[in-house]
Chain A
Amino acid sequence: MRARLQAVLATAALVLAGSALAQDSTMDEIAKYREMLADGNPAELFELKGEALWKKARGPKNASLEQCDMGLGPGKLDGAYAQLPRYFPDTRKVMDVESRLVHCMVSLQGFKEEDVTRQWFSRPGKESDIEALVTYIGAKSNGMKIDVPARHPEEARMAKVGEYIFYRRSGPQDFSCSICHGQNDKRIRLQDLGNLTTQAGAGVAMSTWPSYRVSQGAMWTMQRRLIDCMRQARWPEPKYLSDSVIALQVYLQKNASGTVMQTPGIKR
């Protein structure tokens, strides 16, 4: 793994140094590959499962999640994901889809936070309820525009924090998000790295999550995507649902605002 990472970093350095790769026909075939996968995205299985979990009475309080308020009122899911993260007066916190979902599982269903978050991402043979639920909630925003203006003072503050983290160089490699994601037309191997500081780049990236990762055979949520990028940047990995991860999402969703959601996505 380590050697592999080194190799990737070396490749990254090369690509970032600006070597334009003549890979256009390859990219065409890869586009064809992705197109063939998009019709029949296994994410739909998780969406189905998430819907059943949402509606089923569970937990110590034997309640469903149907009264969960994802920001638009109890039970109102249409378009909710596209407007997250947002400030919630009841918790006095800016929350993303995952922290809000966990809040509902704890407050409505009576689960313990450590129990519901233990399997926050799946491993082979170990399914994650959170992944399925987030896929279902996300799908309810398919076709809607991302809309995170970050006007509330707390949201504006989190957007600033997110921006700060995005540009801040740290860790043993002195990496920042912006090194990989702050310029146009960058690529690591065959992966296009969008410029997340622009509406177009952030839009492409943010509108297609949560996403089925073909390489993992699993759904990935935005928390998992970002925490994994922090690991790739060789930063200390934050805890699940950390404010730093939520702040990055506010910053990125704000940049992406106006882009139409195409979720669930499917990615390499």
Chain B
Amino acid sequence: MADPMKIRASAKDGITEVKVLMSHEMETGQRKDSSGNLVPAHFITELSAEHNGKQVLAAQFGTAVSKNPYLAFKFKGGAKGDKLAVSWMDNKGEKRTDEVAIN
């Protein structure tokens, strides 16, 4: 199973700032392994973030997003203790959801 994400969400002056790190190889499909074979592409394709169940961001990634992807964004609203969940899915159908309380 995929390793956990690291999510930080902090509310200040009516704006919640979210920073997410995801654990993922983000293989481009263009790299060769030590025996010269192409390593198949393996990358996160879609991401969604929800604040108390309401979507606050949707994203689509290509292979050019760096390994162990980082994403930061801001939305209006959000209070300390509210739930913020982030989900991703990759091109092999693997997925991961993590949730934190906004602080």
By a beta-carbon cutoff of 8 Å, the part of chain A in contact with chain B is 39-40, 42, 44-45, 48-49, 52, 124-125, 217
Contact = CB atoms under 8 A, between A and B. Distances in A.
19 contacts: A39-B19, A40-B21, A40-B70, A42-B21, A42-B70, A44-B6, A45-B21, A45-B22, A48-B4, A49-B3, A52-B4, A124-B27, A124-B31, A124-B33, A124-B39, A125-B25, A125-B39, A217-B66, A217-B68
Contacts of B31: 124
Interface residues of B, number: 18
A42 B23 CA distance: 8
Contacts of A124: 25, 27, 31, 33, 39
Going nearest first, the 5 A-B pairs with the smallest beta carbon separation are A42-B68, A217-B67, A40-B70, A45-B23, A44-B6
A125 B32 CA distance: 12
Interface in B16-35: 19, 21-23, 25, 27, 31, 33
B67 A45 contact: no
Contact of B3 (A39, A40, A48): A48
B72 interface: yes
B31 to A, nearest CB: 7
Interface string B31-75: 101000001000000000000000000000000001110101000
A39 B71 CA distance: 11
